[in-house]
Amino acid sequence: MGYTVLSYEVVESVAVITMNHPPVNALGIPFLEDFTDVLERLKTEGEVRAVLLTSSCPGVFSAGDDVASLKEIDDELINTLPKAHVLLNELEELPLPTVAGINGHALGGGLELALACDFRFMAQESGRIGLPEVRLGMIPSIGGTQRLPLVVGKTKAVEMMFKGLMITPEEAKEIGLVNDVFAKGELYNKSFDYALRLSRQATGAIARIKKCMITGIREGFEAGLSMEIETFRANIISPDAKEGIDSFLSGRKPEFKGKD
């Protein structure tokens, strides 16, 4: 299947999604259309057990929007926001571990996209990361006001968004916005290897952990506890749970298949 601003390939058990929409990998209609197809594909391709999201644009992961395009905001653009919210929610809910290999600036919508992934890695001296919309008299609009406080805490999120801070990879790691920072030439391989190791885990259990966490965050603590009970009942009889218990008792390394 061909895409306009993305490429998609499966390497071993990892789906590698590469954004390629110079100059800034804008998250406009072409991206939303391509990404909709990609997410549907990920839900049905059984050999995929983890996802890596990255960019082929030099120095840019995604800057969200080309600022020049914001001079004339019309209803068509505003009407894309609900669709963008749905897509990032679907990315966040994807029953697979997801990794963002941030190889350049991740600003505005670019950071909002990365925040919907489970893990975020950056390269040293690769660019800045933040939600600087307030510098244009604007606000984050595809989930940043909700996800950033969950990741870095309210105090730091308020500071970043109110001041429009664009911070370094090292500063991002210090506040927990990214999981780790690698040398520039190592980012892709390190991120891919991380995704590959995750793909060899009990990905059915990972999917259920994600579902419990998201339920608790969106619907409240008691709803999250109820989801734990519901998912545990199904999980404990899964092939991967049987494999995990059997391998532990026999003293061998488990070989998870990612099956429910």
CATH number for 147? 3.90.226.10
Whether 68 and 111 map to the same domain: the answer is yes
pLDDT of residue 72: 62
pLDDT of residue 249: 94
Task: Say if 96 falls within a structural domain.
Answer: yes
Task: Say if 259 falls within a structural domain.
Answer: no
Q: Which two tokens stand for residue 215?
A: 């339920």
Beta bridge partners, 75, equal: none
Q: Which of 40, 45, 72, 112 is catalytic?
A: 112
Rounded to the nearest 10°, the torsion over CA 220, 224, 230, 236 is: 180
Whether 153 and 54 map to the same domain: the answer is yes
List CB contacts of 167: < 8 A, sequence separation 6 or more.
128, 129, 130, 160, 175, 177
133 belongs to the catalytic site: yes
Task: Say if 257 falls within a structural domain.
Answer: no
Whether 86 and 188 map to the same domain: the answer is yes
pLDDT of residue 224: 97
Q: Above 90 in pLDDT, residue 191?
A: yes
Largest CA distance in the chain: 65
Task: Calculate the alpha carbon distances from 5 to 32, 70, 87, 118 in Å.
Answer: 10, 20, 16, 23
Whether 83 and 169 map to the same domain: the answer is yes
Task: Say if 74 falls within a structural domain.
Answer: yes
Mean pLDDT, residues 112-119 taken together: 98
Q: Above 80 in pLDDT, residue 152?
A: yes
What is the chain's mean pLDDT, rounded?
Answer: 93
pLDDT of 227-257, one tens digit each? Answer: 999 999 999 999 999 999 999 999 999 999 8
Whether 102 and 218 map to the same domain: the answer is no
233: left (phi over 0), alpha (psi -120 to 50) or beta: alpha
Q: Which of 76, 133, 174, 186 is catalytic?
A: 133
pLDDT of 55-107, one tens digit each? Answer: 999 899 998 775 555 556 666 677 888 999 999 999 999 999 999 999 999 99
| Tally of domains in the chain | 2
What is the domain extent for residue 164? Answer: 6-199
170 belongs to the catalytic site: no
